[in-house]
Structure 1
Amino acid sequence: MKTDIIVPTVTQVAVAAVPRTDDLMEELWDIYVINLRAGSMTNLLITSQGYGAVDGNDMSTTVLRHFHQELAANAAVKIEPIQTSLFGIKNEYWVSFNDGEVMMDKRFIFEPGQISAAALETVPVLGKRGVVVQ
């Protein structure tokens, strides 16, 4: 029976952490979902959570949910800011959306220490430097 269920593979979608500097010259980062697909993504639901251990103590963040009606092809949407103090734990973004009549979803994870200035690359669509997971 399980072999009858077709689970579509999500491709051409990315999540990126992009640094920015505020007026006080404090380092801040923002999380974006990027649609690299030829078509739009509708009913986009993103769930975010951080979890792991810091100095031997378990740590987790509140689960946040974000909804966007549509994300056009080759476009990006800012989801939330992320504090640099959370870079030492896993940061998970579960992205669900409709592709026509099919519900698609994929989990994107930034591993502890992955978000850093040393890992910056050019982020597709945004043209900014950031850390990308696909």
Structure 2
Amino acid sequence: MKKDIDIPEVKNVHLAAVKVFNEEFEVYEWNVYLINNTGKPIEMVLIVSKGFDKKRETSLMRHKLEVLPAKSFAKVEYLQDEVLQLNNEFKISYFEGSKMMEKTFIFKPNSIKESAAAKLPVIPEEGILAE
């Protein structure tokens, strides 16, 4: 019966951490962005995130985006420096047309650092793509 279930593969939707300047507090900080590099808008985007390791776990954060247009990106959340040492997991669910899509992205501990930054799709700044 499982072989009869069609689970579509998520393609060209990414999650990235980007270090940006916060003008209000005059500091650089890491923010997580959802990137839609497809040719279609994605709708009813639900994001559940948490940080964890063997001893610690953060509270769950929940976010919702009504629509993320094609070839665009949206800020999801700010990452405090303390959680960069943890696994940071983001579970993303959304509709692409009439199909529900789902993918889990993870930033491994200490993987979010300036030296690992690289070119990103759609976003003009450099950053780190989640696995």
TM over 0.5: yes
Q: Please give the secondary structure, in 2, of the residue aligned with 1:10.
A: coil
What is the Cα deviation at residue 26 of structure 1? 3.0
Question: Following superposition of structure 1 onto structure 2, how do residues 1-12 of structure 1 map, counting pairs within 5 Å?
Answer: 1-12=1-12
Partner of 2:7, secondary structure, is coil
SS of residue paired to 2:15 = strand
Superposed CA RMSD in Å reads 1.3
Ranges of 4+ aligned residues in structure 1 off by more than 4 Å: none
Q: Structure 1: which 5+ runs fail to align?
A: none
Using the TM superposition, give the Cα deviation of residue 87 of structure 1 relative to its aligned residue in structure 2, in angstroms. 1.0
Q: 1:17-36, aligned counterparts within 5 Å?
A: 17-23=17-23, 24-36=25-37
SS across alignment from 1:115: coil
How many residues were matched structurally? 130
| Counterparts of residues 1-134 of structure 1 (less than 5 Å) | 1-23=1-23, 24-53=25-54, 58-133=55-130
TM superposition score normalised by structure 1: 0.91
**Alpha-carbon distance, 1:25 to partner:** 4.4
Deviations 1:37-67 (A, max 9, x none): 11010111111110014xxxx1111101111
Give me the whole-angstrom Cα distance separating, in 2, the residues matched to 1:89 and 1:29: 14
Q: Provide TM-score, normalisation by structure 2.
A: 0.93
Give the whole-Å Cα distance in 2 for the aligned partners of 1:21 and 1:35: 23
Unaligned runs of 5+ in 2: none
CA shift, 1:85, in A, is 1.4
Percent identity between the aligned chains? 32
Aligned residue type for 1:109: I
